[in-house]
Amino acid sequence: MDLSAINPTLLLASLMVAATPLLLAAIGELVVERAGVLNLGVEGMMITGAICGFAIAVNTGSPILGLVAAALGGAVLSLLFAALTQYALANQVASGLALTLFGLGLSALIGQGYQGIKPPSFPKADIPLLSDIPFLGGVLFRHDFVVYLAIALTAVVWWVLKYSRIGLVLRAVGENHDAAHALGYKVVRIRVAAICFGGACAGLGGAYISLIRVPQWTEGMTAGIGWIALALVVFASWKPWRAMLGAYLFGGITVLQLNLQAAGVAIPVEYLAMSPYLITIIVLVIMSADKSRAPAALGRSFHASQ
């Protein structure tokens, strides 16, 4: 055992990278759930984003275009879910699961012929001056720009939800859609927009894996990260900054356990891997005493005639 082999700077830095796809997907889903919609199809949208981004990046040679395409791909797929749940008033749980199944199949079909290809590499954004600060520079300022994008997105979502009118309306729709409707807000339109935003974020998160984190395309490569993102939103009790904290915690547990293993510490890996989920449950229990609970209309269909 040699714990000194773990370099805290590098540990924290890689933790930020590991958390990014999770954070992106979770922030998107958070907005969706705040609007009162439960979309269980995050995994399907992520993997679709991963292949859309990969294909476009390979074909155009531009990873930036790839990211844009990934966001678009995720959003378009989420429109299917929106059409089902918002216009056809289908059950959200079932529609979300169907979306995941559909997305996994679709991505595998699109992805035929993209195996074993190396995508164009992504520029790293060492922020001048800041990246030279000892410790903090290494932890915070030597990443690709998507890492910062995810954090900026968190800040924006937080601000919009808390201070802007759009945020207020969104939350009103999520808490009580009938009241929001009575006040003259377009409940369905707002929810569709939220779902689209969630899809775009999930797609971006998927592309982060296929273009930057791994980078390659293989079928089913998101390997369940979308489901973890769902857990994360709950863990965060639908608050953006807590989602970021949670992403670092969830991502961090993986990185930390790998670090401990490499340092020769004998740890029960399976039990450590369970811990984020158990912690989430505990958080849920603690939260129940708190005022911050789930959006009241979460998962319920809305139709104006009701």
Q: How far is the CB of 300 from other proteins (least distance, A)?
A: 9
Q: Which of 59, 163, 271, 296 is in the footprint of other proteins by CB under 8 A?
A: 271
11 contributes a contact to other proteins by CB under 8 A: yes
We find the least distance from the C-beta atom of residue 272 to other proteins, in angstroms, to be: 9
- Residue 35 interacts with other proteins (CB under 8 A): yes or no: no
By CB under 8 A, the residues from 207 to 266 that bind other proteins are 209, 213-216, 218-225, 227-228, 230-231, 234, 254-255, 258-259, 261-264, 266
Smallest gap from Cβ 156 to other proteins, in A, equals 25
**Is residue 112 at the binding interface for other proteins, with CB under 8 A as the rule?**
yes
Among 59, 60, 61, 109, binds other proteins (CB under 8 A): 109
Stretch that binds other proteins, among 52-60, 163-171, 173-181, 284-292 (CB under 8 A): 284-292
The site that binds other proteins (CB under 8 A) totals a number of residues, namely: 86
Could you say whether residue 136 binds other proteins (CB under 8 A)?
no
By C-beta, is 129 or 270 nearer to other proteins? 270
Q: Which residues have C-beta within 8 Å of that of residue 165, sequence separation ≥ 6?
A: none
Question: For residue 44, which amino acid is it?
Answer: G
Q: Is 61 exposed, middle or buried (0-12, 13-18, 19+ CB in 10 A)?
A: exposed
